[in-house]
Amino acid sequence: MEQILLGAVSLGLLWSIMTLGVYISYRVLDVADLTVEGSITLGAAVTARLIVTGGDPYVALVFSFLAGLGAGLVTGLLHTKLRIPALLSGILTMIALYSVNLRVMGMANISMLRMTTAYSIIGSLLGVNKTLSVIILGGAMALIIVLILYWFFGTEVGSAIRATGNNPFMVRAQGVNTDNTIILGLMLANGLVALSGGLIAQSQNYADVQMGTGSIVIGLASLIIGEVLFGKRNFLSRLLSVLFGAITYRIIIALVLRLGMPADDLKLFTAITVALALSLPRFKDLRDTLKVSMNGRKKHA
Amino acid sequence: MLKVEGLTKIFNPGTINEKTALDDVSLHLKPGDFVTVIGGNGAGKSTLLNAVAGVYRPEMGSIYLDGKRIDRLAEHKRAKDLGRVFQDPLMGTAADMEIQENLALALRRGKRRGLGWGVTAREKVAFREKLATLGLGLEDRMSVKVRLLSGGQRQALTLLMAILKAPKLLLLDEHTAALDPKTARQVLALSDHFIQDLGLTCMMVTHNMRDAIAFGNRLIMMSQGRVILDVEGDEKKLLTVEQLVKLFSSRSGEEVNNDRMLLG
Ligand SMILES: Nc1ncnc2c1ncn2[C@@H]1O[C@H](COP(=O)(O)OP(=O)(O)O)[C@@H](O)[C@H]1O
Ligand SMILES: [Mg+2]
């Protein structure tokens, strides 16, 4: 059981970086960006390709991040310069990335078994096992990224990006080119998602062209779980809640699997969870109207 | 200060919904002009202000601000010389950001934004002073999210953001129409105070004829995308609501619609 829990925490930390990316597009920019499904695989593909050709695993992660920036750039350009709706722009890049990822890998999947990864380096340095080294590296990176994002969104550029998600009309009236802020936000989001993809691939010693399927829903589920359970007081606590949400999601999944749910049903389970969570406000409305009409009836009686 | 020449804006050209919102409008504002703009619903008042601000590209005509041609410039590039307040109080501010963050966004209008702090400690001191001039107590709530403010407070904040950098031209588009009468009067008085104090050039759309006469040094009336009346100075000061109503029907061929143009 402890092993399962530690495994879930380590996986949650790696996916939390992807969830931070989803937070930037979905919550900060207010764009449902499906590029994510392709860019997480892109990150994995780039890392895997570089590692099997003898590249340094840390340098590989840098390239994964850069590749993700590129994916976000493409979606951003499609959306802002060519005026294609954001959802469709994301889908187009996602589909295009499927072919790109196959080309990057040269095949449908790459195994990195017994190769040097970022974790094996930490493992032999600190003398800890694989799971612990994933937790150490994943945790350190997630925390550093949270701090960087906290700083960045407090800067002039970061404020302009936040305001763009809030009210693009007002932002233009204040002299900001919203095309640029949207592109920048999407780049940053997908850079993080791809970095997360690289970290995940190294942890499972494996990259697969299918691994991104459904990842946007996992990101949203983690995001919402974090918001519901850990509140959203100030910006730092929001970012941290994203991190805890991703870990909690993995623990929940580990538990339901252990309780006997077939692994094939996982995505259905996640989708239903997200649908329920997203409709929570609607249920609250319904409850309130019910209450009001009940009270009304009482008064009339 | 502002020179508009032969401005024509057609929405949905070539379709069944084609609408000429501005029809060969020419207008020349001198520095310090405070022009009130009246006209019926759909007369093209908002379209005129939005065309100047760069929300829409006109089909024909040119716009010069302070001698510089601006009608080909993108909206965000014109923003540095413009201050704008809109009819909808939700439109001028970022709801999920703090009062001071909104002001800081406005303070950087026309400047390159980099990785410096979004709001500095020194700016906060200055903002506190400026907010106090609104007389709404917002100076003690600077880190409150704008979402929590009332419509009037948001509109006063938007006004402050609009004049923070003393724009070359202030565009007010029925900015008090959505407020209750008392708040509307307050925001209008504040607007007038800032305009006089900073000597701003301003175009203010209003549907209240009495306000249109009482404020500013010049009044224009629009109908069907055209300027049908342009009076200034003493001639404007001596106008009465009755005269305006008469002028409106004789020149536009329409009756004054009471819902839209308040006579009182
Ligand atoms: N974005 C738009 N698309 C199509 N038609 C528009 C648009 N904006 C305004 N119009 C039309 O142009 C005309 C002038 O509108 P507007 O300038 O908003 O009038 P006013 O502000 O004087 O009430 C109206 O007939 C309106 O329906
Ligand atoms: Mg209007």
Q: How many structural domains is chain B composed of?
A: 1
- pLDDT at residue A266, rounded to an integer: 87
* Rounded distance from Cα B173 to ligand 2 centre (Å): 7
Position B110 in a domain: no
- pLDDT at residue A263, rounded to an integer: 87
- pLDDT at residue A14, rounded to an integer: 98
Position B190 in a domain: yes
ipTM: 0.91
What DSSP string describes B6-24?
EEEEEESTTSTT-EEEEEE
Position B40 in a domain: yes
* Rounded distance from Cα B42 to ligand 2 centre (Å): 7
- Distances in whole angstroms, Cα of residue B38 to Cα of each of A234, B6, B41, B177, B218: 44, 20, 10, 13, 11
CA separation for the pair B248, B253 (Å, rounded) = 8
What single DSSP character describes residue B127? H
Residues 6+ apart with CB under 8 A from B133: B160
Q: Which residue has the higher pLDDT, B103 or A257?
A: B103
Position B137 in a domain: no
- pLDDT at residue A282, rounded to an integer: 78
- pLDDT at residue B264, rounded to an integer: 45
Position B29 in a domain: yes
Average pLDDT over residues B128-154: 95
H or E segment to which residue A206 belongs: strand A206-208
- Report residue B259's pLDDT band, with 50, 70 and 90 as the boundaries: low
> Per-residue pLDDT for B251 more than 90?
no
**pLDDT per residue as tens, chain A (301 positions):** 788 999 999 999 999 999 999 999 999 999 999 999 999 999 999 999 999 999 999 999 999 999 999 999 999 999 999 999 999 999 999 999 999 999 999 999 999 999 999 999 999 999 999 999 999 999 999 999 999 999 999 999 999 999 999 999 999 999 999 999 999 999 999 999 999 999 999 999 999 999 999 999 999 999 999 998 887 778 999 999 999 999 999 999 999 999 998 988 888 988 998 888 788 777 777 777 777 666 655 545 4
* Rounded distance from Cα B21 to ligand 1 centre (Å): 6
- pLDDT at residue A137, rounded to an integer: 97
Residues 6+ apart with CB under 8 A from B208: B261, B262, B264
B164: nearest CA in chain A? A174
Please tell me the distance in Å from B143's CA to the nearest CA on chain A: 11
Position B200 in a domain: yes
With contact defined as beta carbons under 8 Å apart, do A2 and A129 qualify? Answer: no
Tell if the CB–CB gap between B95 and A167 is shorter than 8 Å: yes
> Per-residue pLDDT for B262 more than 80?
no
Q: Convert the pLDDT of each residue in B218-250 to its tens digit.
A: 999 999 999 999 999 999 998 999 998 888 888
The answer, for B108 touching chain A at a CB cutoff of 8 Å, is yes
HEC secondary structure over A60-80: HHHHHHHHHHHHHHHHHHHHH
Q: Is residue B208 exposed (0-12), middle (13-18) or buried (19+ Cβ within 10 Å)?
A: buried
The domain spanning residue B236 has which CATH number? 3.40.50.300
Q: Convert the pLDDT of each residue in B168-199 to its tens digit.
A: 999 999 999 999 999 999 999 999 999 999 99
What DSSP string describes A113-176?
TTS--HHHHHHHHHT--HHHHHHHHHHHHHHHHHHHHHHHTTBHHHHHHHHHHH-HHHHHHTT-
Q: How many CB atoms lie within 10 A of CB A126?
A: 10
HEC secondary structure over A87-115: HHHHHHHHHHHHHHHHHHHCCCEEECCCC
Position B207 in a domain: yes
- Distances in whole angstroms, Cα of residue A273 to Cα of each of A9, A184, A221, A267, A268: 20, 31, 7, 10, 9
Tell if the CB–CB gap between B79 and A175 is shorter than 8 Å: yes
**Domain, as residue range, for B199:** 2-97+153-262
Strands B2-11 and B60-65: antiparallel
Q: Does residue B61 line the site of ligand 1, with CB under 6 A?
A: no
> Per-residue pLDDT for B49 more than 50?
yes
Q: Is residue B78 exposed (0-12), middle (13-18) or buried (19+ Cβ within 10 Å)?
A: buried
Position B118 in a domain: no
Residues 6+ apart with CB under 8 A from B77: A175, B54
Look at residue B177 and give its three-state secondary structure: coil
- pLDDT at residue B162, rounded to an integer: 97
pLDDT over 70, % of chain B: 96
Strands B169-173 and B202-205: parallel
